Amino acid sequence: MKKNNGAVWALCGGIAFSFVFTYVIWLLGPRLESIELLPDQGATWYYWKLPNPTFWSQFSAWSLYTLHQVSMWWLIWYAQKQKPGYTTGLHKFNLWALGINAFFIILHLVQTHIWYDGIAQNVHVFSSQYSVILLLVFVMIIENQRRGMFFGKKAILPQEGVSFIRKYHGYYFIWALVYTFWFHPTVATEGHLFGFIYMFLLMLQGSLFFTRVHLNRWWTFLQEALVVAHGTMVAIQQANGMWPMFLFGFLAIFIVTQMHGLGFSKWTRRTMIVLYVAGVVLAYSGQVSNVVQITFIPMIDYLLVFVLTFLIFGVLKLIKKVRPSI
């Protein structure tokens, strides 16, 4: 019997769509350059929003975002209700998810070129960044059982909290992705373009739930690794000299956690550690006092791993104590 490789073909098609559509955003980018924006007001200011938003610019962004969000949440609920097994093919809800995401991606481009604004006009600039950071932290929690947390050793986390995250992570993941996507207008700066490719690939991963591709360790690692390039690129564009903190901060998580789930030999892992240390020495030569910066991102992420898991565990225990029948 011929094996159904529908999920692999969907993955390849989705990757092609991600790059082609990002190219389309770039091609149409000059159409938006005539729009006058307010001067940049610092790190807490989002530059790409209209100085005088209209009812339709706000209504179009929020209504389409809401439809996109609710549609994907409903699909996740429907899929979990079916209790399907993991397959190399595609379930019907995978086809719907791929179609819905592609449809709203196209709609957002159209919406930008008519009304410009995303939902950034009404929410804090850091909200989209932190939503994706938390997504990556949840991935670390979920993957703890397979690859460990610290140099291949598993972190001791409450199982009830981990199980809850594993079961319901899709709802948070798709919220973080759809929210971040609609936060930005589809402008064609280098940072936005790379960010859109990243969002499209993450949406693709989110569309292939309950397939074997969704669990592929190299594909899932790519989703984590792209934040290194994106975070470093944005930091370089800001020209504040902080790019080494992002580059080596995210790479520290790769060295401590992520590379231990990829099947590398002991010598390969040791070589990567040596190269990492050499890179840090080279980047911070002449500014040794600033090398502590590379610990900020991993310290926050690892702290969040424990805080979030134990917080969810505590809430679940409290709910069971108050309502034992649940």
For the chain, the structural domain boundaries read: 5-32+54-322
- Within 10 angstroms of residue 161's Cβ, the number of other Cβ atoms is 21
CA angle (83 as vertex; 77, 86 as ends), nearest 5:
110
Beta carbons within 8 Å of 321's beta carbon, 6+ residues apart: none
pLDDT at 200: 97
> 229: burial class by Cβ within 10 Å (0-12, 13-18, 19+)?
middle
- The reported pLDDT for the residue numbered 3 is 66
Question: The tokens of 42 are what?
Answer: 């610092």
In a 3-state reduction of DSSP, which class is residue 323? coil
Mean pLDDT, each 10-residue run in order, the chain (326 residues)? 80 97 97 91 87 95 98 96 91 96 98 96 89 92 95 95 95 96 95 93 96 94 91 80 89 95 94 95 86 93 96 92 72
CB 94 within 8 A of CB 211: yes
- Calpha distance 140→65 (Å, rounded): 27
Strand, helix or coil for residue 310: helix
What is the reported pLDDT for 237? Answer: 79
* Rounded Cα–Cα distance for residues 256 and 281 (Å): 18
The per-residue pLDDT for 114 is: 97
Q: Which residues contact 70 (CB under 8 A, 6 or more apart)?
A: none
pLDDT of residue 325: 61
Q: What is the pLDDT of residue 1?
A: 46
The whole-model pTM stands at 0.92
